[in-house]
Amino acid sequence: MSTNRARWAAVAAAVVAPAALAALLAGSASGRPSADPSPSMTPPSPYPSPVVSGPGALVVDCAAILRYNVGGPFGDTPGDLVPFGAKTVTRCDTALDAPSAGSAARPRPTLAPPEALTTNVDSFVQLLNTLPSVAPDQACLHIAFPTQLSFVFIFDPAAERWPLVVVVDRNCAALVANDGADTRARSYATLDPMPIFEKLFAAQPPA
């Protein structure tokens, strides 16, 4: 995981919730705003940020997200998976395994367009923070997915917090976040947040 941490330091520098989700969130005692100080907005290394120029600096370049090596082991620093205060969360689909020079041509995977959730972001963050840690014996598959799914959380500029990338490890049903200093992981083996994100995205008013 140390290799992932070094690489992710480069990247760390988006309605109305369904009744079931609202009930789940209301019953959680673990999803309260964190009081820990925000890290500096200064990027920890010169690697590209997933955020590019745009209105309010909220446009996400999904192609700039680095690859995460799936399969664990999963570090799990105590605390929320995602800090509160995010203004948007963008679901990204990033192609993996770019063809190398001289290699046989392979068809590029079909990428889902980015989806930016701008309403009920706190509810989605709270849902992710209620997920349990990844069990040491959690089963993992070994599927070579052609794309990597992730969520990019962008915070209010006043928070002075660098954007956070949470990668979806579909082989291990885990969400993994790394802000350059800490690694946090949660299991979605019993509650998949992706369909909930899609419902929230579909229900928000048109831009």
Give this prediction's pTM.
Answer: 0.71
- Least Cα distance to 178 among 74, 57, 40, 102 occurs for 74
Average pLDDT over all residues of the chain? 73
Q: What is the pLDDT of residues 54-84, one digit of tens each?
A: 444 567 888 888 888 777 777 777 789 999 8
Is 50 exceeded by the pLDDT of residue 35?
no
For CA atoms 79, 19, 149, 133, the dihedral sign is positive
Task: Sketch the domain layout of the chain as residue ranges.
Answer: 2-22+44-97+109-203
The vertex-49 CA angle with 45 and 52, nearest 5°, equals 145
Query: Strand, coil or helix: what is 7?
Result: helix
Higher-confidence residue: 203 or 44?
A: 203
